[in-house]
Structure 1
Amino acid sequence: MPLFKISNPGMAAFHIAIAALMVGTGTINTLAAKWADKLRSHGYNPKPKHAFDHPYFQAAEMFLGEMMCIFVFKIWFFYRNCRKKDMSIFGPQKFIPIVWAIPAMCDLLGTSTMYVGLTWTFASSFQMLRGSVIIFTGLLSVAFLGTRLKIHHWFGMLFVLLGLILVGVGDTIFSHESQSASHYSLAGDLLIVLAQVITAVQMTIEEKLIKKYKVPPLQAVGWEGIFGFSVLCIAMIPMYFIPWHLPQTRDIWQQTTRFEDAVDAFYMLGNNWQLLFASIGTVISISFFNFAGLTVTSTMNATTRMVLDSVRTIFIWAFSLGIKWQAFQALQPVGYFVLFIGTCIYYDIILMPLFRYALDKVRHRGNETIDDEVSIQTEPGKEAEEGAPLLKKHVQEKEVIRATKED
């Protein structure tokens, strides 16, 4: 399966541009969120500067970015509707938006859990471990959608699992931080993997809803953003009054704090322009990332989107090493390579097509050998009469082989 179906040079340039936009905004989104985790600022009280430990507030920022997709969709809808009525663009427009509250709640739980894990582990590990969604999505699609996975799907999931183990072991064994910090890196990794289970449930529900209601994906993302942002904003009110003990934090005085202090988060944004810039970058990048991802899916294919999502991992890892957010770990590039191989096998690209191509070449050479054996040179007279039965036998064998191959 080709990753890029290009019909003319103009479309080739468009495909390259939209793919670069997806990889770029996806990379910025993860790095901006991790940058915010590393920045310090004054909150609403006179206490000293402290770290931006507000994972649920960051999840709300993510939903705000998704909510912006509904405005992009409306603009696109009116633009296309003025030109021609294309149902594939704007759908039937007759559905109950509340149904998207279910995947939105899954998105809320998954995103919040991921951001808690991100505060404890590396940005590169965060992105790599998100690849585990392949395993859980595959298993859930079998259980609830009746999908029949082929052998390459199972092998792909096996490679992804091996890659996840390598990344997790690398974060634990080769961490240059204290033993306690390395344990929390592993805990962060486990939280991210747990979030992928929730994300897999979300994707399974989304697939069923999109097929049932024929809703454009961009509109679906927008509605999920609306529901997720609204629910999380309401939930952060009781979170403010719930005391919370953090056994592992970057500030001792923060060990006893609130479950989520949105007031402190707003004050921190106002007191540090870099933190505000990182938060705005998170909101804008996720909006463009969703737009680019859905455009890749519609103009190319979903396989290309998943491969590009895997490719951005190497940019996040390289950037994190370059600015010394993390030290080099020998198992991490190995784990990433195994994860990438697993992704390629699962989505039937590069490796499996090459394997089938080589197998076809071997079979083709075998058929040529049979053809050479059938081409028996006979001379007029007695030798031709003796060779005729043998020639007939070879021709019959050749026909049987060809008939078997066609079946």
Structure 2
Amino acid sequence: MAWTKYQLFLAGLMLTTGSLNTLSAKWADMFSAPGCSGTPNHAFSHPFVQAVGMFLGELSCLVVFHILLCHDRRKPEPTMVPGQSFNPLLFLPPALCDMLGTSIMYVALNMTSASSFQMLRGAVIIFTGLLSVAFLGRRLQPSQWIGILFTILGLVVVGLADFMSGHGNDSHKLSEVITGDLLIIMAQIIVAVQMVLEEKFVYKHNVHPLKAVGTEGFFGFFILSLLLIPMFYIHVGSFADNPRQVLEDALDAFCQIGHKPLILLALLGNTVSIAFFNFAGISVTKEISATTRMVLDSLRTVVIWVVSLALGWEVFHGLQILGFIILLLGTALYNGLHTPLMAKLPCCPGGQRAEEEEAPERERLLGGGKAANES
């Protein structure tokens, strides 16, 4: 069945904004500018300020939700289902996980390449699978266990590629690259906890996805904005890459933006892209399928890698291709993307269940939460 123009637009929007989200964050990290009180040029290293911007993008989804709801109610026959009422504090635990995981990943992105950052985020499959077995009582299929093993192998290959390329990398020391990679993997444990919490407490309440994303963005934006105040006074020594060597110097970030406005453009790119990426992802699931959404989410890793190479942000390494292919295979096996192909083979009648399983998966993803909406 051929896609409509609207479906093609949604797929392109998801792929483009998903790629821009990581690329714009990395672009901001690559700037250097003078800070406050005449401090000399230094790198823009403000991961927590960037995380606040990302949560602002998520918060905007709540505004979009209410605009769409008001517009729909003006129709003679409203079609939009707002979902049942719920206690907003239900989203606080996953929002705290989102806040911590996102902040760690932005710290890590400043230490490693954009393509490795995106590839290593595939580790979330491992921890989500294990936690869902332990806390949700889920039984994983054999293909999902094989997918987890392939993911582990892919992570080892990508890590090895970073280790080998780190020796000749002028922008990042080898120790920074390894630390960044480990931080990304550690953050995926927190993201997996977030997904399990969302599935256990949020999905069953049938919350509209835009409202779910926006509510978590609300908590993340205001809590992290308030935390910027104590972070301004917490000295962490050489761990921090800012002149005052504090956990986060928001004033220094604003001074650097004032000296180099292009940094603001990069930050706005991150904020706007995450909002459109969430909208496009939800719409792709609704208009096409959850499987298509997973495939597009994997393809944005290729886009990020190709653009990074074209811009000279990183050097080509063949092991990264091998690592990506293994990770892609692991993702496909874990998410059951191989079953639609098997369904077309006369020798695999069991694959006919794929289409029947697609509808519940679509409903689960559309039912609320943002497990599949991460940046």
After TM superposition, the score normalised by the length of structure 2 is 0.88
Alignment of 1:3-18 (within 5 A): 6=1, 12-18=4-10
The equivalent residue for 1:118 is: 109
The equivalent residue for 2:134 is: 143
1:276 pairs with 264, 267, 279, which one? Answer: 264
1:168 pairs with 147, 159, 165, which one? Answer: 159
CA distance in 2, matches of 1:194, 1:285: 25
Cα 1:312/1:265, change in 2 over 3 Å: same
Q: Deviations over 1:274-309 (max 9, x none)?
A: 111101111101110111111112222322222211
CA distance in 1, matches of 2:16, 2:331: 20
The equivalent residue for 2:228 is: 236
Tell me the matched-pair count: 348
CA distance in 1, matches of 2:349, 2:103: 51
Work out whether 1:301 is the aligned partner of 2:289: yes
CA distance in 1, matches of 2:102, 2:23: 15
Consecutive unaligned residues of structure 2, counting only runs of 5 or more, are 351-375
What secondary structure is seen at the aligned counterpart in 1 of 2:125?
helix
Work out whether 1:198 is the aligned partner of 2:161: no
Q: CA deviation at 1:131?
A: 1.1
- Do 1:170 and 1:329's aligned partners in 2 also have CA atoms closer than 8 Å? yes
Q: Structure 2 counterpart of 1:214, which letter?
A: N
1:261 pairs with 249, 263, 270, which one? Answer: 249
The equivalent residue for 2:212 is: 220
Q: Deviations over 1:145-170 (max 9, x none)?
A: 22211111111111111111100111
- Do 1:246 and 1:256's aligned partners in 2 also have CA atoms closer than 8 Å? no
- Do 1:307 and 1:343's aligned partners in 2 also have CA atoms closer than 8 Å? no
CA distance in 2, matches of 1:134, 1:233: 30
Alignment of 1:8-407 (within 5 A): 12-83=4-75, 84-86=77-79, 89-92=81-84, 94-175=85-166, 176-177=168-169, 181-247=173-239, 249=241, 254=242, 257-349=245-337, 351-355=338-342, 358=345, 360=347
Consecutive unaligned residues of structure 1, counting only runs of 5 or more, are 1-5, 364-407
CA distance in 2, matches of 1:227, 1:58: 16
CA distance in 2, matches of 1:82, 1:145: 41
CA distance in 2, matches of 1:360, 1:125: 38
Cα 1:109/1:362, change in 2 over 3 Å: closer
Q: Deviations over 1:2-48 (max 9, x none)?
A: xxxx5xx6x62211110110110011110000000000112112011
Q: Structure 1 counterpart of 2:126, which letter?
A: I
Two-structure CA RMSD over aligned residues (Å): 2.1
- Do 2:61 and 2:211's aligned partners in 1 also have CA atoms closer than 8 Å? yes
The equivalent residue for 1:389 is: none
Q: Deviations over 1:203-232 (max 9, x none)?
A: 111122333211011100000001001000
CA distance in 2, matches of 1:354, 1:214: 31
Q: Deviations over 1:42-90 (max 9, x none)?
A: 211201111111011111011010000001111111222333354x631
- Do 1:245 and 1:255's aligned partners in 2 also have CA atoms closer than 8 Å? no
CA distance in 2, matches of 1:287, 1:355: 35
CA distance in 1, matches of 2:105, 2:238: 17
What secondary structure is seen at the aligned counterpart in 1 of 2:245?
strand
- Do 2:240 and 2:247's aligned partners in 1 also have CA atoms closer than 8 Å? no
Flag as ranges the 4+ runs of structure 1 deviating above 6 A.
none
Cα 1:303/1:255, change in 2 over 3 Å: same
Q: Deviations over 1:306-335 (max 9, x none)?
A: 221110000100111111111111211110
Q: Structure 2 counterpart of 1:225, which letter?
A: G
